[in-house]
Amino acid sequence: MVKVDACTFNILINGYCRSGEFEMALGVFKEMRERGCEPNVVSFNTIIRGFLGKGKVEEGVRMAYEMIELGCGVSEATCEILVDGLCREGLVDDATRLVMDLTAKRVLPKGFDYGSLVEKLCRDKKVDRAVEMVEEVWKNKGGAPCLIACTTLVEGLRRSGRAEKASEFMEKMIMNVGLVPDSVTFNLLLRDLCDSGRSMDANRLRVLATGKGFEADETTYRVLVSGFSKEGRRKEGEVLVNEMLDKDMLSDIFTYNRLMDGLSTGGKFSKKQVRLD
């Protein structure tokens, strides 16, 4: 007699689920266990997807915790199925709690991409909750560092008028996780900091990012020089103008003189000069 193994059961379970016969799939899953054949990640994921497809989110989540108790361990696919299913039902807070709990238990897969969940939290104006979740994931070294998610968070904090918090988060993102922001997001944040009289903090952030591979462009320097000019920090501004010269960022003497004139008079550069592309 041919011995039926997990692979055979998984084929049957998947087949019933795909044909919409979820109760039959559950029956095969139950029989599998009764016959002493331990379900594997594929078995559990298929059943969890089936539960969530039927809107039975509690049963799906319960099945995931059963996986953990049995030592099977949740996979990246398990987490994606659960988070997507919960969010589809409008249960974004529940999805967040699940990710944080799996993180606390140190079973969140390192490759799990939490970017879509962050985007949904930010869209629901729950930026603080998103920051809390991401920092918890970082602390427990779970999930995959996600630049898109982090950029979304920085933008969410910026737009709510919290440049200081955005700066703190970006510093952690750069120094603790090694993610380097794109120039557009970075320059916008620097502008916000400079506009609030914190040009020194903005320049410090530039130095930190540069040390991790960020390449400051002409806009980066112009924003900072303008900020130093407004604050009467001629010396700091001159250092940056000279860096621009060293990097061939000043195409003519006219541009150089305008920058230096702005520093010497403490005047403001026009919006055209410091505009962000």
- Give the number of other CB atoms < 10 A from CB of residue 209: 24
Please determine, for residue 2, whether its predicted confidence score (pLDDT) is greater than 80: no
Q: How far apart are CA 196 and CA 190, in angstroms?
A: 10
Label residue 24 by pLDDT band (50, 70, 90).
very high
In this predicted model, which residue has the larger pLDDT, 270 or 54?
A: 54
- 260 lies in which domain range? 180-277
Q: How far apart are CA 22 and CA 29, in angstroms?
A: 10
Task: Please report how many Cα atoms fall inside a 13 Å half-sphere around the Cα of residue 266, on the Cβ side.
Answer: 3
Name the nearest CA neighbour of 85 among 40, 119, 55.
Answer: 55
pLDDT in tens, 185-211: 999 999 999 999 999 999 999 999 999
Name the nearest CA neighbour of 144 among 115, 174, 186.
Answer: 115
Tally of domains within the chain: 1
Residue 80 falls within a domain, yes or no? no
Q: Alpha helices, DSSP H only, in the chain? A: 6-18, 22-34, 41-53, 57-69, 76-88, 92-104, 115-123, 127-139, 147-159, 163-175, 183-195, 199-211, 218-230, 234-246, 253-265, 271-274
Chain mean pLDDT for the chain: 88
pLDDT in tens, 29-63: 999 999 888 899 999 999 999 999 999 999 999 99
State the burial class of residue 258 (Cβ atoms within 10 Å of its Cβ: 0-12, 13-18, 19+).
middle
Sign of CA dihedral 17, 23, 27, 29: positive
